Amino acid sequence: MTATATSRLSGLPDSASDLRTFLHGLPGVDKVGVEARAAALGTRSVKTTAKAQAIDLAIRMVDLTTLEGADTPGKVRALSAKALRPDPSDPTCPPVAAVCVYPAMVPFAAEVLAGSGVHLASVATAFPSGQAPLDVKLADTRDAVAAGADEIDMVISRGAFLAGDYGKVFDEIVAVKEACGSAHLKVILETGELATYDNVRRASWLAMLAGADFIKTSTGKVPVAATLPVTLIMLEAVRDFRERHGRQVGVKPAGGIRTTKDAIKYLVMINETVGDDWLDPDWFRFGASSLLNDLLMQRTKLTTGHYAGPDYFTLD
């Protein structure tokens, strides 16, 4: 067996040109087809008991996020408290999966979340642009972990990716993964900037080969964030990657998912493409903020039979 073939089977390409050959050898994505499939899955009718089940699962999958320049310790504490008890009036409402903040805000979230089982995610690596030297990105990552984050959401260098410098993107992910230590690494592809579905598939594989624990669509800071077709391609990628390499990788669409109806479309998509194994907060997350209140509103509607106004749900 040639060196290239060996490296591909092991999942560790040994040169930049191998990586390129591999990524460009992945099956293409037909734009019309993938969009039609995503739209068709979006027509599933999820009602009554199935809806109740879906809402609770979606709540448990939320990475409750605030990523604003205006974030303060007080705001982050409030958000963290909400993560633990999304609906203070209903003890049966499950907590969310994680809180996601900037590195500087990690200590304040950690105070509230410590020992709760709710994860603490921090964006790092010069989020959202990723335009900083590698040593700065690594320091950013180490600081966030040291401050208590057990999940790191990094951004890839889209410029390097689009320039075809896959080796650089790969090496950065490997380095950040190492800096994470035991913290889980989510790799943000920023699919809105990758321009084609073929690129989304390549970037997904690149991140997984480099050691990503999760692949995430977007920062939420560019005009096009998570979409159903992009998430479908990423789900197919994690499915195929596990089949080939035996390692399961999670998926996190982020940005633009605001309603229960949207969230359910994603759950349907998981259900009918990768199945049960990913229908779990360990393997699928929603990066969102306003989504949670809509989920809570719909949850209340299902249990009480009527809609409550926005003042009955806590502000983030």
Partner 1 sequence: MFEYAPAPESRSVVTIAPSYGLFIDGEFGEAKDTFKTINPADEEVLSEVALAGPEDVDRAVAAARRAFEGWSTLPGSERAKYLFRIARIIQERSRELAVLESLDNGKPIKESRDVDLPLVAAHFFYYAGWADKLKYAGFGPDPRPLGVAGQVIPWNFPLMMLAWKIAPALATGNTVVLKPAETTPLSALFFADICRQAELPPGVVNIVTGAGDTGRYLVEHPDVNKVAFTGSTEVGRAIARSVAGTGKKLTLELGGKAANIVFDDAPIDQAVEGIVNGIFFNQGHVCCAGSRLLVQESIAEELLASLKRRMSTLRVGDPLDKNTDVGAINSAAQLARITELSEIGATEGAERWSPECPLPDRGFWFAPTIFTGVTQAHRIAREEIFGPVLSVLTFRTPAEAIEKANNTPYGLSAGVWSEKGSRILAVADKLRAGVVWANTFNKFDPTSPFGGYKESGYGREGGRHGLEAYLA
Output the CA–CA distances (angstroms, integers) from residue 25 to 16, 22, 144, 188, 292, in the order listed. 14, 5, 36, 22, 40
Output the CA–CA distances (angstroms, integers) from residue 87 to 73, 177, 298, in the order listed. 22, 35, 12
Q: Is 216 a catalytic residue?
A: yes
- Tell me if 195 sits within 8 A of 230, measured CB to CB: no
Q: What's the closest the beta carbon of residue 80 comes to partner 1, in angstroms?
A: 29
Cα 100 to Cα 63: distance, rounded to the nearest angstrom = 6
> Residues 87, 153, 198, 213: which is the catalytic one?
153
Q: Is 49 in the site for partner 1 (CB under 8 A)?
A: yes
Q: What are the b/e assignments for 196-221, b being 16+ CB within 10 Å? A: ebbbbbbbbbbbbbbbbbbbbbbbbb
**Structure-block tokens of residue 155:** 């951004």
Question: Environment class of residue 294 by beta-carbon count within 10 Å: exposed (0-12), middle (13-18) or buried (19+)?
Answer: buried
By C-beta, is 259 or 271 nearer to partner 1?
271
Among 37, 85, 221, 245, binds partner 1 (CB under 8 A): 37
**Structure-block tokens of residue 2:** 């040639």
Cα 266 to Cα 287: distance, rounded to the nearest angstrom = 12
Stretch that binds partner 1, among 89-97, 112-120, 264-272, 288-296 (CB under 8 A): 264-272
Output the CA–CA distances (angstroms, integers) from residue 288 to 58, 255, 268, in the order listed. 11, 6, 18
Stretch that binds partner 1, among 128-136, 186-194, 211-219, 266-274 (CB under 8 A): 266-274
* Residue list 6-35, contact with partner 1 (CB under 8 A): 27-30, 32-34
Q: What's the closest the beta carbon of residue 43 comes to partner 1, in angstroms?
A: 6
Q: What's the closest the beta carbon of residue 196 comes to partner 1, in angstroms?
A: 12
Cα 208 to Cα 103: distance, rounded to the nearest angstrom = 24
Among 123, 124, 267, 291, binds partner 1 (CB under 8 A): 267
Cα 259 to Cα 177: distance, rounded to the nearest angstrom = 33
- Tell me if 226 sits within 8 A of 255, measured CB to CB: yes
Q: Is 179 in the site for partner 1 (CB under 8 A)?
A: no
Among 1, 2, 246, 276, binds partner 1 (CB under 8 A): 276
Q: Is 45 in the site for partner 1 (CB under 8 A)?
A: yes
Q: Is 303 in the site for partner 1 (CB under 8 A)?
A: no
Cα 310 to Cα 13: distance, rounded to the nearest angstrom = 52
Q: What's the closest the beta carbon of residue 50 comes to partner 1, in angstroms?
A: 4
Q: Is 71 in the site for partner 1 (CB under 8 A)?
A: no
Q: Is 236 in the site for partner 1 (CB under 8 A)?
A: yes
Q: Is 252 a catalytic residue?
A: yes
By C-beta, is 37 or 85 nearer to partner 1?
37
Q: Is 70 in the site for partner 1 (CB under 8 A)?
A: no
Q: Is 153 a catalytic residue?
A: yes
Among 143, 271, 277, 301, binds partner 1 (CB under 8 A): 271
Strands 151-155 and 214-216: what pairing?
unpaired
Q: Which residues of this chain interact with partner 1, rule CB under 8 A?
A: 27-30, 32-34, 36-37, 43-51, 53-54, 57, 236, 267-268, 270-272, 276, 279
Q: Which residues are catalytic?
A: 153, 216, 252
